[in-house]
């Protein structure tokens, strides 16, 4: 998979792509990155990528044309039609494990990371018209970040870990929370490691019994409990001492 990042702050990704399994995936030639700064498509000495918002809108807005030109310059170089253009932004569509599975099969993903108050709506309008099947505006959840770079990193981690051989153990992808085979309605059972006792907390005896059927049954039971457990109301929690 090749990931293309459109950002005016590409250095934010420097440590991200040079760390852990993301770095190893690149060494294995499973994953590659390129960065495009939309400023290079801005005319003038100062390469101004933003401007004030019409009708006294607060803050600044990124211009549509530089971002459009950046995306088009990337698409023109692609040899494959298997690509997605992702705009991390407040949206009705919220990123889920299902999105991650779908996007993990794409050969190219273009993340357009905006800043300030977002981007001129005409960018989205253009992408929807020209690339209706490839363009998606996705939100992480109902909160706002300073820009699209961090949300893009979260999505990249969720997507790329599903690509074969990025994570060595196949079972790590199959037996996990939000499993697509269980309609993403499961939370993984509690897990433990050595030592057998930490402070006053001991590993459940059944897990060191060696009885595989009982251990599997316990894990299934705990997964069901965690997945269906309702949160305790805050008022009731506050009364506990």
Q: Sketch out the chain's domains with CATH numbers.
A: 2-160 (3.40.1280.10), 187-239 (1.10.1270.20)
Region 103-113: mean pLDDT is 97
Above 90 in pLDDT, residue 112? yes
Q: What is the pLDDT of residue 236?
A: 47
β-pair partners for 137 = 87
Cβ(49)–Cβ(36) under 8 Å? no
Cβ(158)–Cβ(95) under 8 Å? yes
Hey, is 2 helix, strand or coil?
A: strand
Above 90 in pLDDT, residue 55? no
Distance of alpha carbon 117 from alpha carbon 62, whole angstroms: 8
Region 90-111: mean pLDDT is 95
- Band (181; pLDDT cuts 50, 70, 90): low
Distance of alpha carbon 103 from alpha carbon 97, whole angstroms: 10
| Percent of the chain scoring above 70 in pLDDT | 83
Query: Which pTM was predicted?
Result: 0.83
For residue 62, CA distances in Å to 52, 59, 117, 163 come to 9, 10, 8, 33
Region 148-168: mean pLDDT is 95
């Amino acid at each position: 998979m090749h990931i293309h990042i459109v950002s005016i702050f590409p250095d934010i990704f420097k440590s991200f792509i040079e760390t852990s399994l993301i770095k190893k995936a690149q060494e294995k030639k499973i994953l590659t990155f390129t960065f495009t700064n939309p400023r290079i498509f801005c005319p003038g000495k100062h390469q101004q990528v933003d401007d004030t918002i019409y009708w006294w809108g607060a803050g600044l807005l990124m211009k549509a044309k530089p971002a459009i030109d950046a995306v088009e310059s990337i698409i023109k170089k692609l040899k494959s039609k298997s690509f997605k253009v992702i705009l991390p932004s407040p949206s009705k569509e919220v990123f889920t494990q299902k999105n991650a599975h779908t996007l993990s099969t794409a050969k190219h993903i273009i993340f357009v990371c905006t800043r300030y108050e977002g981007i001129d709506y005409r960018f989205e309008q253009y992408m929807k018209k020209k690339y209706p099947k490839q363009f998606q505006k996705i939100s992480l959840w109902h909160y706002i970040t300073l820009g699209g770079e961090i949300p893009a990193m979260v999505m990249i981690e969720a997507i790329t870990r599903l690509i074969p051989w990025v994570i060595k153990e196949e079972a790590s992808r199959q037996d996990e929370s939000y499993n697509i085979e269980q309609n993403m309605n499961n939370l993984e059972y509690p897990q433990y490691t050595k030592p057998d006792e930490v402070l006053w907390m001991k590993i459940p005896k059944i897990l060191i019994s060696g009885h595989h059927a009982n251990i599997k049954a316990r894990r299934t039971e705990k997964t069901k409990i965690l997945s269906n457990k309702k949160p305790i109301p805050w008022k009731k929690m506050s009364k506990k001492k």
